[in-house]
Amino acid sequence: MSKLKSKILVVDDNVGIRAALNILLSQYFSEVELLSSPKELLSHVRSFHPDVVLLDMNFESDINTGNEGLFWLSELKRNAPNVEVVLFTAYADIALAVEGMKRGAFDFVVKPWDNAKLLGILEEACGKGKPKRTAEPTADSTAMLWGDSPAMNEIHRMVGKIAPTEVAVLITGENGTGKDVLANEIHRLSLRSGQPMVSVDIGAIAETLFESELFGHVKGAFTDACSDHIGKFEQANGTTLFLDEIGNIPLNLQAKLLRVLQNRSVTKVGDAKAVPIDIRLLCATNMDLPKMVREGRFREDLFYRINTVTLQLPPLRDRTDEIPSLAALFVERFTRKYHREVKGLTEEAVQMLQRCRWDGNIRELQNSIEKVVILSESPQIDVQDLQLHLEQMCSSFASTASNTVETLDELEERAIRTAMEECAGNLSSVAKMLNISRPTLYSKLKKYGI
């Protein structure tokens, strides 16, 4: 690697780490500057103009954010959006580092670092290697995963029929089954796909702000209404409006929503003028709306207004034959996203995934595979990787096989013995590798006679 005409700014409170990085990075980058505290980070960025900031995630300071690395990352992206940020993190902070990437970090490096890997990431971040990586392409990360179960084949057939029409669609199913993804797919195949779909999470709107958020308000309509505000219905004029968690609308506000849907017009809070709207309505819920109608908690007339067609997404436990293909897709996606060298899953690992309950459905499977891809050091994900990094998931195995508990105990014992060998018997390191406390480790060592 020849010396690059790039500037690197290192922010770390450990004097030894700063000294080591200064020696290493000065051999490969034209200018390297070091900061022991992020307090002067923004002013230093303005004067030094770095290409990349290598940012530690924790400092001894008075910033009370829950994690300083994420705070300073946000400050950097807000004040210097063109500067790439590579997070410098301890093993225990990997989950936070992943969150940092979702907030705009280029990548992360785990301490103690591998020199070649660190240099490669910094080189790429400087734009001299592979093209800069931002977020995954929307088409890849939000594509509908149809599978080949009879239930999903029927939904696929129905979507092909109803997407080009204007009928209202109610999408039902458990959390994590992909209701929002299906809504995006319907919009993508609709005649309104030329404009982005407008999505609203009803459950996240405070009751007092419901009318303002959905219908808008005019200046002076209430305290703090300092200017006119366009509601979601008006924003969705000419395109698709997706109301997620529709079952969370309070009963006293359902009449107002029904009136808007019937009249096809909205009246802003504090105004008397009705504004015509042209929307295609999609709704989703994990609640039993017919039961809520019978119990008087959801208006019957509103229920029939929003569900001209109902699509019920099945839970993943009823689609276990699709888990191998879904898992393989997620491994490929996150291997590419995080630049990991993972080739796939062993047959035993796939069988292990198929025995899990997956109460969180596809979303839980996706998040679990993401974690394993990040943490695994094996060229192929095997049962041991799953056992090491997905202990909570493994505790949710379906109890259909009489030997499940015994099998899990055997896997756990093997994982502990392997960790003991790799860490040369250092119990603190073993506990850290297995992501368990020392008292828990002592208990398991006693249990297995290790």
Q: How confident is the model at residue 389 (pLDDT cuts 50, 70, 90)?
A: low
Q: How confident is the model at residue 136 (pLDDT cuts 50, 70, 90)?
A: very low
**Token digits of residue 18:** 């700063």
**Amino acid code (one letter) for 118:** L
One domain for residues 413 and 325: yes
One domain for residues 292 and 328: no
Is the model's pLDDT at 113 over the cut of 80?
yes
3-17, 91-105, 115-129, 182-196 — which is least confidently predicted? 91-105
For residue 70, the tally of other CB atoms under 10 A from its CB is: 18
One domain for residues 158 and 294: yes
pTM of the model: 0.58
One domain for residues 166 and 292: yes
The full 3-state SS of 95-137, as one line of letters, equals HHHHHHHHCCCCEEEECCCCHHHHHHHHHHHCCCCCCCCCCCC
Domain that holds residue 73: 4-125
Name 263's Cβ contacts closer than 8 Å, sequence gap at least 6: 274
pLDDT (0 to 100) of residue 408 = 60
Is the model's pLDDT at 1 over the cut of 90?
no
The torsion angles phi and psi of 401, rounded to 5 degrees, stand at -100, 135
Query: Any idea what the CATH number is for the domain that residue 366 is in?
Result: 1.10.8.60
Q: How confident is the model at residue 376 (pLDDT cuts 50, 70, 90)?
A: confident
Are 133 and 106 within 8 A, CB to CB?
yes
One domain for residues 416 and 441: yes
Q: How does pLDDT run across 259-304, given as a tens digit for each residue? A: 999 999 998 888 878 889 999 999 999 999 999 999 999 999 999 9
Domain end among 288, 314, 340: 314
Percent of the chain, pLDDT > 90?
A: 36
- The number of C-alpha atoms within 13 Å of 203 and in the hemisphere containing its C-beta is 10
Cα(39)–Cα(35) distance, integer angstroms: 9
Question: What value does the mean pLDDT take over residues 81-102?
Answer: 79
Cα(28)–Cα(411) distance, integer angstroms: 44
pLDDT (0 to 100) of residue 139 = 33
One domain for residues 304 and 395: no
Is the model's pLDDT at 129 over the cut of 70?
no
pLDDT (0 to 100) of residue 257 = 93
Question: What value does the mean pLDDT take over residues 168-173?
Answer: 96
> Looking at the domain assignment, is residue 255 inside a domain?
yes
**Amino acid code (one letter) for 140:** D
pLDDT (0 to 100) of residue 60 = 60
pLDDT (0 to 100) of residue 338 = 85
197-206, 227-236, 418-427 — which is least confidently predicted? 418-427
Query: Any idea what the CATH number is for the domain that residue 307 is in?
Result: 3.40.50.300
CA pseudo-torsion sign 44, 45, 51, 54:
positive
Are 338 and 121 within 8 A, CB to CB?
no
Mean pLDDT of the chain: 83
Question: What value does the mean pLDDT take over residues 397-408?
Answer: 43
Percent of the chain, pLDDT > 70?
A: 87
One domain for residues 105 and 176: no
Cα(118)–Cα(95) distance, integer angstroms: 19
Distances (CA, A) of 393 to 322, 347, 411: 18, 18, 14
Is the model's pLDDT at 404 over the cut of 50?
no
One domain for residues 102 and 224: no
311-325, 373-387, 388-402 — which is least confidently predicted? 388-402
Number of domains in the chain: 3
> Looking at the domain assignment, is residue 183 inside a domain?
yes
Cα(216)–Cα(237) distance, integer angstroms: 13
One domain for residues 44 and 120: yes
Tell me how far the alpha carbon of residue 49 is from its chain's centroid.
31
Cα(283)–Cα(296) distance, integer angstroms: 20
Distances (CA, A) of 19 to 22, 23, 79, 118, 228: 5, 6, 28, 15, 55
Cα diameter, the chain: 77
Is the model's pLDDT at 337 over the cut of 80?
yes
pLDDT (0 to 100) of residue 311 = 96
Tell me which residue of 253, 314, 243, 247 sits closest to 287, measured CA to CA.
Answer: 247
Is the model more confident about 249 or about 376?
Answer: 249
Name 167's Cβ contacts closer than 8 Å, sequence gap at least 6: 308, 309
Q: Directed axis angle between helix 361-375 and helix 323-338, to 10°?
A: 40
> Looking at the domain assignment, is residue 44 inside a domain?
yes
Cα(416)–Cα(410) distance, integer angstroms: 10
Q: How confident is the model at residue 134 (pLDDT cuts 50, 70, 90)?
A: very low
One domain for residues 353 and 224: no
One domain for residues 296 and 336: no
Name 282's Cβ contacts closer than 8 Å, sequence gap at least 6: 168, 169, 171, 183, 186, 187, 197, 240, 241, 242, 243
Q: Which residue in this structure is represented by tokens 């319907």?
A: 186
Sort strands 274-276 and 29-35 into parallel, antiparallel or unpaired. unpaired
Query: Any idea what the CATH number is for the domain that residue 66 is in?
Result: 3.40.50.2300
> Looking at the domain assignment, is residue 240 inside a domain?
yes
One domain for residues 244 and 306: yes
